[in-house]
A and B are shown apart, each in its own frame.
Chain A
Amino acid sequence: MIAGLVHPLLALGALLAAVPLIIHLFNRRRHKPLDWAAMRFAQAAWKKIRRRTRFENLFLLLLRMAAVAVLAFALARPFTSGSGPLGGLTEEHQDLVLLLDGSASMSYRPGLDSVWERALERAVARIEDLDADSGDRVRLYLVGDHPRLLSDRSPAEALAMLSTLEDPFDEPFDLSAALTRLLEDLDEKGESPNAVTELVLITDAQRGNFLDQRGTRANKELEALVERGLELIVEPVAATDRFTRRPSNLSVAGLWALDPFGEALDDSGALGAAPVPRSADASFLVRIENSGSRPRDVRVALEVDGERRPARRVEVPGAGHIEVRLDARLTSPEGAAESSGFHRVEAVLEADSLTIDDRRPLVVFAPESIEVLLVDGDPAADLVEDEVGYLLAALEPEGDDALSAGGFQVTTYTADEFAARMARKELDLGRFAVVWLANVEALSPEWISEVEIAVTAGATLVVSVGDRVVPGRYEERLGGEIGLLPARLGERRGTTGRRGGYSRARIERPDHPALAFFADERYEIYFTEVPVYEYLTSTPLEGARVLARLDDAATAGSPLLVERDHGRGRTVLWTTSIDDDWSRFAESPTSLIPLVHELCHGAVQPPGPGRNLLLGSAISAELEAFPEAPMLLRPGGSATAVNQDAEAQPGGTWRLEELAKADRVGFWRLRTRAGSEAAFAVGLDPREGRLERLELGEILNLSPAFVAASEEATADPTSGDGELWRPLIALVLMLLIGESLWARRLTRGEAA
């Protein structure tokens, strides 16, 4: 009859029914002695009334105990099936669980109202239909990339929470996270799932909310709902007919900086801001998507540090995308000179009905210059004969294109000059991003230790071999405990003459930035078809990454290019010569230039943690100077003081950890009293700009857990469970009134 209890633990309060009994027994012990003469009459009277008195007192006691027990039971809120024998005593009430889609796409505004505003109205209407006096309850979740429980009590509280909501999140919608949280909450609160009468999802029915590349999202959670007999009512608040299921929307789905070879630089937050050449126009690739079915013209422009550059008009195909290359010079705020350091770049479209995806931010890093030290182990008067002649030409080519403005500042010393300068302490290795030992024979422990310090602090050591390299000595001086070699050098192998055959290279890590140019199949041959006549075999050490191998069968693919991290820097080993003695890489500008440029660009790491962040990740900053009175500015302009002490880092920088969670898209800025500023870019998930919607019928077909709002009307309104606490409270009142009347009757009867 009783299906369960909403608050089972409160039913233990029924044990308090023993209290009247205890009081009764306690009182019975407290008899006042009284000397009495007329005992015969007292005994006769007591004998006459004893049985009746016992019954009357027992009845009174039972009334009191019953009142306490029933009250405790009522507080535990038992419920029963509406169709059961006690169903007539229950009041019908509703439990509403409302999932409100708070993703970025909800801010789409096709007319006067945005989809978000319509969703709020619909949620308010749903809640206002409830009757709080009958015990109707509502649990309100606002869902972005994870659900937030806004209200878990009365309809009034839920309405109050809704009135405080202004905008949706900048996040995508995660149906799986929402349903997982809902099921966990149902389990945790100990409610019988049968107490929930309505699950409602108010959403714009964006396709990406329900489907991904693998099929229906949240399949496991939807099946769990079905198993528990629950249905999720889907209420689309955006029109999904055939004319509106593909609303027109243009979005900036991607923004990347390009290297001088036109390849997109990795701008993920994990690797830091993309380094770009300083003194020439930086190139950026902008991806624009059109979720509408018709092609559209749009103007796209870049803003560099807040300054808009000339726009370009482009046509974006319907239900498609284009990628546009835009160039911009990274100038100082005054616009006068090229400025090194971090820059804020933003791709901007003309505003449309969904404005949040019309801009995409990016923080790029333009190093002051990339200083390269070349140590020439085999100098010659003729650059072609010189060990580093080709290398020098690759790093400082003539011309006025981006390649020419590669931003390298090259210093060259012969091995002897280098050793002498190091001995006289005239050379500060700390200013070089790259130290290249090209076929150097003599290795002095003194300058080796200085090189090791520089690499540990962040520099890159590149070792290219040749006929002057003695593997044993290199192993002894650079390897071992020093750890400046990524691999143990072996024997010299190869052909003695150019006609005797050669080895070719094979790319092992095409995703590595040093080989990104050659990963394009158009340019791959410039790496893989270059003959290598001689090389040193090598065995990579633990932690080393083999980026390329030779196809020499005899050595089972001896490494050609190996790198390994060392402190904050790294060491790179090129197992053939960098001149034309042992291979023809030097003779092929299309091979050598991209290779050495990428190797050297890769040596430049922007200081500090990532500046391009995913939505929801933590913002941490590393600054050159101690940050005084730091303030964190959010996108939109609000600022909060940072109450945290900066920690000193090796290398003289200062670090602030986890300043905030990046919960809004746009630029976040950390500003200090001295006026310095560090910017962080948080981009929108491109899915939110793809507004294609599913029709309601399509959604319902995805899972039996989905139902339409109209189907609930066919459910038997009395078949839901109802609570019995009201009739129980009435029963308690009747028991208390009965107890009072009975007690009064006993008293008056005694007094009569």
Chain B
Amino acid sequence: MASKEKRSPFDPAILDRLAGLDFVARTVVEGFLAGGHRSPRKGSSPEFAQHREYAPGDDLRHVDWRIFAKSQRLVVKEYIEESNLVANIALDTSGSMGFGSDTAKSTGWTKLDYGRWVAAALGHLILGQRDTVGLVEFDTAIKNTLPPGGGAPQRHALIELLEAATPGGETAEGPCFRDLSRQMSGRGIAILISDFLGDLGPMFQGLEALVAGGHEPILLQVLDRRELDFDYEGYLRLEDLEGGAPLKVDARVLAEAYREEVEAHQAALARHAAALSLDLVTMVTDTGVDTALAAYLARRAARISRHAGGLS
């Protein structure tokens, strides 16, 4: 369902809240701009990473002479090379994202409107840290692509593309994720914004391709409250937003069985995501974008800080 109002994603109030958080990559990412993110290459960078045994050919300047003096062992220091973050935001614009109910926090918002907001907010953050971000829209295939970039021009292009996004068509996440993996030139983060209501098998094959490519998929699932509780009354004729055959149901009779199906799907989704160590965030449109994102980013930042302290 297309959003009834086209809003600018740049809501100062929301973006201010997000400004105090760092969006920190959990893995070291290669990049061509220096910044606060770790590159997976360990080189002569000012930040010490770890010690190892001296091997013939190592640069004698990296030998830790204090340890040799103490223990007569020859070890060399390895250092972390910082590089900039490359993020790719993939936004599901299939027909199912056009669904919205009166439970949405913002009146008239569909899931696509909500996802649009999330994408804009994240893009803003990433660009604000002098990282690069790109955007793809997909349904059964990648439809529109904005290659990763930085700076004001990139921000402008990102907004334009998000504003023009309209829902329609069926969904095929798996092939899209595989294509995205090939498309991403270096290791980076793939922020996947979708309702993830499709078949999990092909979907996770695509996600595995992303992981195998060294990328970090983050699953941001956008759902409407009614898709979870099916709190309807009376006789309904369900019209498939992705063009399938309609279905006549008695809402009260169907509700319990429907909820069981949805809960089973969500559990399976979580299970598969956990198996791949992927972040899965379910955001319901009756919760504000700022609240949902802020909660996730805070948890993520805290987790990464704990992991980094364990290494030093």
Contact = CB atoms under 8 A, between A and B. Distances in A.
Given A42-B249, A45-B261, A750-B255, A33 B237 contact: yes
Contact of A31 (B242, B248, B254, B257): B248
Interface in A15-50: 27-28, 30-46, 48-49
Nearest to A750: B252
B97 interface: yes
Given A31-B236, A31-B237, A49-B254, A41 B261 contact: yes
A749 interface: yes
A56 to B, nearest CB: 8
A37 B244 contact: no
B236 A38 contact: no
Contact of B258 (A33, A37, A41, A751): A41
B47 interface: no
B113 interface: no
B252 A39 contact: no
A37 B253 contact: no
A36 B241 contact: yes
Contacts of A28: 235
- Interface-centre pick from A36, A747, A750 (highest chain B CB count, 10 A): A36
Contacts of A45: 254, 257-258, 260-261
A42 B247 contact: yes
A610 B234 CA distance: 84
B14 interface: no
A40 B111 CA distance: 17
- Interface bracket on A: 20 to 34
Interface in A39-67: 39-46, 48-49, 53, 57
Given A38-B96, A38-B197, A41-B262, A46 B239 contact: no
B197 A41 contact: yes
Contacts of A752: 256
A32 B260 CA distance: 23
A393 interface: no
A650 to B, nearest CB: 86
Contact of A30 (B99, B235, B253, B260): B235
B188 interface: no
A746 interface: yes
Nearest to A33: B237
B1 to A, nearest CB: 6
A37 B98 contact: yes
Given A31-B236, A37-B98, A49 B257 contact: yes
B11 interface: no
B237 A35 contact: no
A38 B197 CA distance: 7
A47 to B, nearest CB: 9
Interface in B222-243: 224, 227, 232, 234-242
A37 B195 contact: yes
B148 to A, nearest CB: 30
B95 to A, nearest CB: 7
B178 interface: no
A39 B254 contact: no
B250 interface: yes
Given A37-B98, A37-B111, A41-B265, A46 B247 contact: yes
B257 A48 contact: yes
- Interface-centre pick from B195, B198, B261 (highest chain A CB count, 10 A): B261
Given A42-B254, A53-B250, A37 B97 contact: yes
- Interface-centre pick from A31, A34, A38, A746 (highest chain B CB count, 10 A): A38
A42 to B, nearest CB: 6
Interface string B1-15: 100000000000000
A106 B195 CA distance: 101
- Interface-centre pick from A30, A42, A43 (highest chain B CB count, 10 A): A42
A27 B247 contact: no
A27 B98 CA distance: 29
Contacts of A53: 250, 253
Nearest to B224: A37
A45 B250 CA distance: 12
Interface string A94-110: 00000000000000000
A43 B237 contact: no
Interface in A709-752: 746-747, 749-752
Minimum-distance CB pairs A-B, first 8:
A37-B99, A37-B96, A45-B257, A31-B237, A45-B258, A36-B238, A41-B261, A750-B252
Interface of B: 1, 95-99, 111, 195, 197-199, 224, 227, 232, 234-242, 244, 246-250, 252-258, 260-262, 265
Given A34-B237, A41-B197, A746-B252, 18 more contacts: A31-B237, A33-B239, A34-B232, A34-B236, A34-B239, A35-B1, A35-B241, A36-B239, A37-B97, A37-B224, A39-B238, A42-B247, A45-B257, A46-B247, A49-B254, A49-B257, A750-B252, A750-B255
Interface of A: 27-28, 30-46, 48-49, 53, 57, 746-747, 749-752
24 contacts: A31-B235, A32-B234, A32-B236, A32-B237, A33-B237, A34-B238, A35-B1, A35-B239, A37-B95, A37-B111, A37-B197, A37-B241, A38-B197, A39-B241, A40-B197, A42-B238, A42-B254, A42-B258, A48-B257, A49-B253, A57-B250, A57-B253, A746-B252, A752-B256
